[in-house]
Structure 1
Amino acid sequence: MLRALAFPRWARASPLRPRVVILAEERRAVASNVMTPLPLSYTVFDGPSPQPPLVFLHGLFGSKTNFQSLAKKLVLQTGRKVLTIDARNHGSSPHSPLMSYEAMSADVQLLLHQLRLHRCVLIGHSMGGKTAMVLSLQRPELVERLVCVDISPSETSAVTSFQAFVAAMRAVDIPWGLPRSTACRLAEEQLRSTVQEPAIRNFMLTNLVSSEGQFVWRVNLEAVSHHLDEIMSFPDFQTPYSGPTLFLGGSKSGYISSNDYPEIERLFPQAEIQYVPDAGHWVHADQPQLFLAAVCNFLELPPP
């Protein structure tokens, strides 16, 4: 059984809202020290097992649909319920000028509370992996196990091109009234000089949506651009998460290196680090079968 929750168009901020409005709203929010959790869009894939559900958190520019086929397979293989979630400013979730890991963690906590899920397995890729880490460090009682896909609790600016990607997406110019095929072709052509890998361009183009005859980016590039340094970093924590943890990297990716091992061990003392062969940053897309096998094996391990 598949249940989905989507937010009506009026509940989401326009991706083309002026920067001055966003910055003014953010100043008011920071000044009042208020961080209101947002009601996230999500999909539930029901399974019969009473064991804690699996909760997928996607990366930057992604959405809950990235894990849809994997979620269905995991229901069949584990019997567990699986949730896929749109982060704030992504997919069908509301937009907000705030884009911190603390805010994204609070959003997920609100959803778990609303669904009366008192314990879960968090599986997060990239930005979603850092959100999962923050939630486990803040509220360890909610997290049975943690899987961080090709990301570590370290600064990632040195191994990413996301700043250039955001600038390229913001520079895309598509005339009004074009059919989707033409709009996608024009956007792809304009992105090509900066985003040279076709798979990454196609991934970014999943954010191109039609709104009143104009194609716009579904992801809130204004908020992402303003908080990109924060998204590439990681908050400071002193108390570790002692639950079972798997850091699952791609063998062709530099997002989890030996330089990250000391910080991983400090914050996640029960962590295992594995690398999926012939996989880049998008491990689950490059090697889906090996990714599923690694997750299922990790779920079967007894608690320490």
Structure 2
Amino acid sequence: MLASIARIRLGQTSPCQLHRSFTFAPVSNYVKLAYDLHKPAKDTDDASTRNAPIIFIHGLFGSKKNNRSMSKVLARDLKRSVYAVDLRNHGDSAHDSRHDYTALAEDVEGFIDEHGLEKPTLIGHSMGAKTAMTVALRSPHKIANLVSIDNAPVDAALKSDFAKYVQAMKRVEEAGVKRQSEADEILKEYEESLPIRQFLLTNLLRTPANTHRFRIPLRHLAAALPAMADFPFRDPDAARFEGPALFVRGTKSHYVPDETLPIIGRFFPRFRVVDIEAGHWVVSEAPEEFRKAVVEFLQDKD
């Protein structure tokens, strides 16, 4: 068992969490997601390798590249295939003007069906965490369990940094920079942290005109920021995931405060919480602690 298990009291949710209801309009054609497949070092015929894959879902402005190292480690340690995906409007996946959690979840559900994956584990960070939670509540029969990294199933305002990053990236494109170092100088005006600037710069591409632009559609994502703060489910009595769920919190982050534990417990009654000494970027800041928590949680499910 994990050392840190949430002991929750199933209290009432606040009015702001339940005052709206949503109609889930289907996406006519789900976006096919680009992905990298990381297999265990030695392929076997073991059923857990074939039928218990992991889908690793990045956060806002990220891509499958961000999870490459951890995907390889989890494939090795758990002897499972790991699909690191690019969500719509990110990485190598197609762009679409619609960008909300219902659409993102339907893309992941389409990916599961397209690849014939049986009861996968979903691991998601930030935007990817809310996407994974949305899949679990929409289609609980499709997945075995989930790992949510530093996000909760509630409406919660995004840090102003995300809007600031969009503004910074737009300035980079408007400047027509020809070198990554020039782009970094502009980003530095908006973000002091070198790791975060390097994370944003993974989206930079060179154009045929020898200038740089970002691969992500800034216009679509800027318009989607309010939806990324939202969560499409309000009533845990109407939608609940009964499978195991692990919520990993960064102790220096504000996205999963203690006040969210009761609502997490109502949507995901079999949840555990593990606190890791890190900020919002838990996987990159504390990779070994994250690996241990996930491996222990998923091995406990085997």
Which TM class, normalised by the smaller chain length? Answer: 0.7 to 0.9
Counterpart for residue 53 of structure 1: 53
Counterpart for residue 222 of structure 1: 219
Separation in 2 of the partners of 1:246 and 1:110? 23
Separation in 2 of the partners of 1:289 and 1:92? 28
Counterpart for residue 289 of structure 1: 288
Counterpart for residue 74 of structure 1: 74
Separation in 2 of the partners of 1:38 and 1:149? 24
Structure 2 unmatched runs, 5+: 1-24
Separation in 1 of the partners of 2:27 and 2:158? 32
Separation in 2 of the partners of 1:158 and 1:125? 14
Q: 1:42 aligns with which of 30, 35, 48?
A: 35
Amino acid of the structure 1 residue aligned with 2:186: Q
TM-score, L = length of structure 2: 0.84
Counterpart for residue 297 of structure 2: 298
Separation in 2 of the partners of 1:164 and 1:35? 32
Separation in 2 of the partners of 1:160 and 1:153? 20
Structure 1 unmatched runs, 5+: 1-31
Task: Provide the secondary structure at the position in 2 that maps to 1:240.
Answer: coil
The structure-2 alpha-carbon separation of the partners of 1:86 and 1:173, relative to structure 1 and needing over 3 Å to count, comes to closer
CA contact (8 A) 2:173 2:212 kept: no
Separation in 2 of the partners of 1:269 and 1:35? 32
Aligned-residue offset at 1:70: 1.1
Separation in 2 of the partners of 1:173 and 1:115? 36
Between the aligned residues of both structures, percent identity stands at 34
Separation in 2 of the partners of 1:223 and 1:241? 30
Aligned-residue offset at 1:175: 5.5
Counterpart for residue 65 of structure 1: 65
Aligned-residue offset at 1:33: 6.8
Separation in 2 of the partners of 1:110 and 1:158? 27
1:246-270 CA-to-partner distances (Å, cap 9, x unmatched) read: 1001111111101211221111111
Aligned-residue offset at 1:156: 2.9
Which region of structure 1 is more displaced relative to structure 2, 246-255 or 168-177? 168-177
| Deviant stretches of 4+, over 3 Å | 32-35, 173-177
Amino acid of the structure 1 residue aligned with 2:54: L
Separation in 2 of the partners of 1:159 and 1:271? 26
Counterpart for residue 133 of structure 1: 133
Task: Provide the secondary structure at the position in 1 that maps to 2:144.
Answer: strand
Aligned length: 267
Aligned-residue offset at 1:302: 3.9
Counterpart for residue 27 of structure 1: none
Aligned-residue offset at 1:50: 2.2
Amino acid of the structure 1 residue aligned with 2:170: R
CA contact (8 A) 2:53 2:81 kept: yes
Equivalences for 1:8-157 in 2 at 5 Å? 34-47=27-40, 48=44, 49-51=46-48, 52-157=52-157
Separation in 1 of the partners of 2:47 and 2:67? 22
Aligned-residue offset at 1:187: 1.2
The structure-2 alpha-carbon separation of the partners of 1:202 and 1:88, relative to structure 1 and needing over 3 Å to count, comes to same
Counterpart for residue 15 of structure 1: none
Separation in 1 of the partners of 2:213 and 2:59? 20
| Larger relative contact order, structure 1 or 2 (CA cutoff 8 Å, min sep 6) | 2
Separation in 2 of the partners of 1:111 and 1:196? 37
Report the aligned-residue RMSD. 1.8
Confirm whether residue 210 of structure 1 aligns to residue 201 of structure 2: no
1:47-100 CA-to-partner distances (Å, cap 9, x unmatched) read: 334221111000001000111111111111111111100000000000000101
CA contact (8 A) 2:173 2:213 kept: no
